[in-house]
Amino acid sequence: MKYTHLGRTGLEVSRLCLGTMNFGSLATEAESFAIMDRALELGINFFDTANVYGRKTGEGITEQIIGRWFAQGGGRREKVVVATKVYGSMGDLPNEMRLSAYHIRRAAEESLRRLQTDHIDLYQMHHVDRATPWDEVWQAMEQLVTAGKVIYVGSSNFAGWHIAQAQGAAKARNFMGLVSEQSHYSLAVRAIELEVAPACRAYGLGVIPWSPLAGGMLAGGLEGAKKGRRAETELRGNLEKHHKQLEAYEALCGELGERPADVGLAWLLSNPVVTAPIIGPRTMAQFEGSMRALELDLSSETLQKLDEIWPGPGGEAPEAYAW
């Protein structure tokens, strides 16, 4: 396993992050336990979850599964950098969501209880809360850090200017602020290259891409469709929309002798601002198949061909659209 620092921190995490979104919904508890055990065997020490995962509002099913896995002992908790999130609705009451200091404190305590741990290694804001001032957000996070209940703070789905705002407010309080940003990023979804990725590089945030294979579209979507798989409505629509690009992409992967999923992950790993793409397996086979990406070193020629098939926004702002 390869490791890298999480953004500008001294913390080392694996180059692939185990996403747990399917635990408790598409993967049973037993399957989830097996995948997490295998992750440790392979050297993956970075697990990502959220209090809203599990498809039952307010119950935190996925966090509960991870907590019961930690409770088995054997050094499981000590070997894992666990990241969870706050923002989403955890109930019907008005203060059971978003980023008020009231909700952050309560949500953190509830996540700690479900995870059966005394601290969260990376506490991520699942979305920006435009209605809550940064001083309130940072005061709540500072109190959690001071109490030893949170080690690092990250963001998710932030715009570049949100990151700048957050870091400016944190600096004024002599607080470390954000260390990572979890964004929607893949060969097929490259909008963050305009401003989010440059902001992360400037402020020392590691990028943690979610949906790195565009919901399965980049994991051999066309070939899977021919065999009767990939039947989800959204994915089917994307396959139709990007059919010509996917034909060229899968043909290139064939020339390389590599699976499309591995090429898609390797492309992300080639970007210095990327810490670890999130892989969210439903099965053990899906999980173990992702390891090949760590061994791939894409040539400059291959990277250029991928850019031609999946063009980005044209570079960073403002040069991407202005002189």
Question: Mind telling me the catalytic residues?
Answer: 53
Do the Cβ atoms of 266 and 220 come closer than 8 Å? Answer: no
Do the Cβ atoms of 207 and 274 come closer than 8 Å? Answer: yes
Q: What are the φ and ψ backbone dihedral angles of 124, each rounded to 5 degrees?
A: -105, 135
Centroid of chain to Cα 92: 27
Token pair, residue 252, equals: 């290139």
Pairing of strands 12-14, 3-5: antiparallel
Q: Which of 227, 266, 224, 221 is nearest to 244 (CA)?
A: 221
> Measured between alpha carbons, how far is 310 from 307 in angstroms, rounded to an integer?
5
> Measured between alpha carbons, how far is 218 from 222 in angstroms, rounded to an integer?
9
Token pair, residue 304, equals: 């250029």
> Measured between alpha carbons, how far is 267 from 255 in angstroms, rounded to an integer?
16
Is residue 198 reached through a cis peptide bond, with omega within 30 degrees of 0 on the bond before it?
Answer: no
Residues 6 or more apart in contact with residue 222 via CB below 8 angstroms? 239, 243, 246, 247, 250
Q: How many CA atoms lie within 13 A of 117 on its CB side?
A: 31
Do the Cβ atoms of 243 and 273 come closer than 8 Å? Answer: no
Q: Give Cα separations from 211 to 82, 187, 294 (angstroms).
A: 19, 10, 17
Do the Cβ atoms of 188 and 267 come closer than 8 Å? Answer: no
> Measured between alpha carbons, how far is 225 from 66 in angstroms, rounded to an integer?
33
